[in-house]
Amino acid sequence: MKLAADRILSLLLLGLAAFVAVQAWQLEVPFSYDPVGPKAFPLILAGLLAVLAVVLFVRPGASGEWPTGALLLRLLFTMAVLGLYAALFINLGFLVTTALVSIVIAWLFGAGPLKAVVGGLLLAVGSYLLFTYGLGISLPTGSWIEPLLGSN
C-alpha cells in the first residue's frame, strides 16, 4: 500500500487535468487576448498538471502512505477552505479571498500569526499584480466593493 497513495493521487490529478482542459477548450473567446488569454492559460496549467501527474505515477515518493491523525485533519480542512475560496471568489474578490485563504492555510500549517498575515497579504497583492499587469488577466474586485468604487 506504500506506493498506492501516490499512484491514486496521480490518477486523480490526471483526471482533473483532463477536466480542466476540456472545460478550457470549450471557452468561447470573442477576441484575441495577448499574451495569454482566458483559454490558453488554463490549457497551459492543465498540460503542466498532466505532466506532473504522469511523473508522480512513474516516480512515486519513498513514503506514499495515506496521511493519518492531525495531518489528515489539516488536509481535509485545507480542502474545505479551498472550496470556500472558490465559492466566495466572485463576491469577495480576488484580493480578499486570496489573502484570507493564504493566511488561514499558513496558520494551519504552523506559521505564526504575523508571518501568516504578512505572507498572505504579500501573496495576494503580488499575484494580483502579476495576473493583472504581467499577464493582462482581469480579476474580480468583489461585488461588495464595486458600489464603493462607482462601478456598475
Q: Same structural domain for residues 86 and 41?
A: no
> pLDDT (tens digit, 9 = 90+) per residue, 78-101?
999 999 999 988 888 899 999 999
Q: Same structural domain for residues 141 and 82?
A: yes
For residue 116 the three cell numbers come to: 501568516
For residue 39 the three cell numbers come to: 483559454
Count of structural domains, the chain: 2
* C-alpha to C-alpha distance for 101 and 17, rounded to whole angstroms: 23
Question: Which of 66, 88, 113 is where one domain is finished?
Answer: 66
Q: Same structural domain for residues 40 and 72?
A: no
Task: State which residues form the domain around 147.
Answer: 67-152
Q: Same structural domain for residues 29 and 13?
A: yes
Question: Which of 66, 100, 116 is where one domain is finished?
Answer: 66
Q: Same structural domain for residues 85 and 139?
A: yes
> What pLDDT was estimated at residue 127?
92
Q: Same structural domain for residues 126 and 151?
A: yes
> pLDDT (tens digit, 9 = 90+) per residue, 96-141?
999 999 999 999 988 899 999 999 999 999 999 998 888 788 888 8
Question: Which of 27, 49, 66 is where one domain is finished?
Answer: 66
135 close to 35: Cβ distance less than 8 angstroms: yes
Q: Same structural domain for residues 80 and 113?
A: yes
99 close to 121: Cβ distance less than 8 angstroms: yes
CA distances from 78 to 29, 109, 126 (A): 33, 10, 22
Query: Per the omega criterion (within 30 degrees of 0), is the bond before 147 cis?
Result: no
Q: Same structural domain for residues 62 and 96?
A: no
Q: Same structural domain for residues 94 and 42?
A: no
Which is more confident, 12 or 1?
12
* C-alpha to C-alpha distance for 61 and 44, rounded to whole angstroms: 25
Task: Quickly state the pLDDT bin for 147 (edges 50, 70, 90).
Answer: confident
